[in-house]
Amino acid sequence: MEGLNYINGQWRPSRSNRWFEKRNPADTRDLIGRFPLSSADDIAEAVAAARQAYNHWRLVPAPRRGELVRKAGDLLVQRKEELARAMTREMGKPLVESRGDVQEAIDTAYYAASEGRRLFGYNTPSELPNKVNLSFRMPVGVCGIITAWNFPIAVPSWKIFPALVCGNTLVWKPSEDSPHCANLLAEILAEAGIPPGVFNVVHGDAEAGEALVRHPEVRLIAFTGSTAVGRRIASICGELNKKCSLEMGGKNPLIILPDAPLDLALEGVLWGAFGTTGQRCTATSRLILHRDIAEVFLQQLCERVHTLRVGNGLEEGVQVGPIINERQLQRIESYVQIGREEGARLLVGGYRLTDGEYAHGFFFAPTIFTDVTSQMRIFREEIFGPVLSVTVVDSLEEAIAVANESDYGLSSSIYTRDITAAFRAIRDLEAGITYVNAPTIGAEAHMPFGGIKATGNGHREGGWTVFDIFTEWKTVYIDYSGRLQRAQIDTDVVS
Ligand code: UN1
């Protein structure tokens, strides 16, 4: 299959006619397709189309824009199963999770569509008579969207749907690891009636991404990906004075206290650490166990990890899919080596799976290290794979302190039946998200999503807060007094 860029309502190859291949990570003999390895020229063409389309799109009433996004949601509902299968084939996660990914985009579409009838501004009294103060949300202009592959439809939809409802036009550079899903979403937006040029997709690698960030007509960059790349984007946006919203890495802690419902906690750790093969920015990557229950819990956990079914996500019963690519597989292997050298104790896993059904894919056994201290790199650095680090502590205070010994601050979790402990954790865990008696994953579309410290730069996607990213405030004063009224000076208006 030949995948193309989607620019100004047309499907086209890159101008340079360079390509990259995308293969199924569960079986690399399965070629998903070739896609354009685009350059700055393709970006320029897409941005020009988006700039042109903006003149019209910004004037379409927001409720009408919302209706088109709602239509996209309807089409996602109709094509959910097909999209989920394409997603699993392209990036590996089990089918049930891919269905969830599409569902998250559906939820986002309907939420964003309804926001077309709100997009509330404020009106407040003026300090002067016969004068009205109003404020409106205005679109930002042409926005650049750059996204990761692990939620190939859901996470882009968090940005794309609200951005469109707000009246922006877009150029999206999806991950090289999920180009086909990006094109399926583009097809849906086209079918929903989003006009040519309003939404554009340009495939490629860092070259295309950087051209998008640097393009002078692009007013905003919304990015999901690694902290290293996000920081680079932020520095360019700083230099060029662009608005920039970043969703970056995580190293999410899950605390279990002795009074916790332990069976529930066990299910939570398995899902949080090994769901999506640990390849989520919200994955549970640090388990912080109270000493009183540590030994028993770890024994049960290891027993369950042995029973996890690793394999091709399209097969019934598979719980853990492949790693996305060879580079990432090597990275995970190197972290296992680092963990061993640092003196952590490997309890389970730690190796590639290569035999039989695994022979043609990128598979890694679910892995747990214990005796992990906060100085170790496996405690501090985002691995983005099925590797869980365990640290044993003696109190709630120590658990929270250990949890906070991280550069990141995306998600966090505590299992306890003690309401005081739960509220202390909610107050003291340094993270954008805290779960109580649930693992670190499972964000819902209508709530703010994002993190603090090295995870974010102060913005929140999802819910109502994403509309702050994709709009600029216009403040309006209307003076109907018929005379010059000087604010702060003509203050004697009482008598
Ligand atoms: C991500 O990993 O980039 O809360 C997003 C969750 C998902 C979203 C994850 N709903 O884990």
**Do 462 and 384 belong to one domain?**
no
Among 247, 315, 397, 430, which one carries the catalytic annotation? Answer: 247
Cα–Cα distance for residue pair 66/167, rounded to 1 Å: 10
**Do 244 and 266 belong to one domain?**
no
Residue 335 Cβ < 6 Å to ligand 1? no
How much is the pLDDT for 186? 98
Q: C-alpha angle 24/25/28, rounded to 5°?
A: 60
- Residue 393 clears pLDDT 90, i.e. is over it: yes
Residue 155 belongs to a domain: yes
Number of domains present in the structure of the chain: 2
Cα–Cα distance for residue pair 7/50, rounded to 1 Å: 9
- Residue 495 clears pLDDT 80, i.e. is over it: no
**Do 472 and 401 belong to one domain?**
no
Residue 490 belongs to a domain: no
Q: Which structural domain range is residue 335 located in?
A: 252-436
pLDDT band, residue 32 (cuts 50/70/90): very high
Cα–Cα distance for residue pair 156/439, rounded to 1 Å: 23
Residue 319 belongs to a domain: yes
- Residue 494 clears pLDDT 90, i.e. is over it: no
Rounded to the nearest integer, the mean pLDDT of the chain is 98
Contact 339, 346 (CB under 8 A): yes
Residue 334 belongs to a domain: yes
Kindly report the CATH number assigned to the domain that includes residue 382.
3.40.309.10
**Do 408 and 429 belong to one domain?**
yes
Kindly report the CATH number assigned to the domain that includes residue 18.
3.40.605.10
**Do 258 and 323 belong to one domain?**
yes
CA of 134 to the centre of ligand 1 (A): 37
Q: How far from chain centre, in Å, is Cα 128?
A: 46
**Do 17 and 84 belong to one domain?**
yes
What mean pLDDT do residues 219-229 have?
Answer: 97
**Do 156 and 243 belong to one domain?**
yes
Out of 449, 455, 461, mutate this one to test ligand 1's pocket (max ligand atoms within 8 Å of CB): namely 449
Residue 161 belongs to a domain: yes
Nearest-CA neighbor of 389 among 260, 494, 282, 288? 288
Residue 442 Cβ < 6 Å to ligand 1? yes
Residue 494 belongs to a domain: no
How much is the pLDDT for 322? 99
Find the helix or strand (DSSP H, E) in which 68 lies.
helix 62-78
Contact 348, 119 (CB under 8 A): no
pLDDT in tens, 339-367: 999 999 999 999 999 999 999 999 999 99
Cα–Cα distance for residue pair 135/465, rounded to 1 Å: 17
**Do 186 and 198 belong to one domain?**
yes
Shortest-distance atom of ligand 1 to CA 411: 4
Nearest-CA neighbor of 261 among 423, 424, 414? 414
Q: What is the DSSP letter of 358?
A: G
Non-local CB neighbours of 18 within 8 Å, separated by 6+ positions: 36, 37, 38, 39
Residue 100 Cβ < 6 Å to ligand 1? no
**Do 107 and 127 belong to one domain?**
yes
Residue 446 belongs to a domain: no
Residue 154 belongs to a domain: yes
Residue 199 Cβ < 6 Å to ligand 1? no
**Do 164 and 24 belong to one domain?**
yes
pLDDT band, residue 493 (cuts 50/70/90): confident
How much is the pLDDT for 1? 81
Cα–Cα distance for residue pair 370/289, rounded to 1 Å: 10
**Do 260 and 236 belong to one domain?**
no
**Do 284 and 169 belong to one domain?**
no
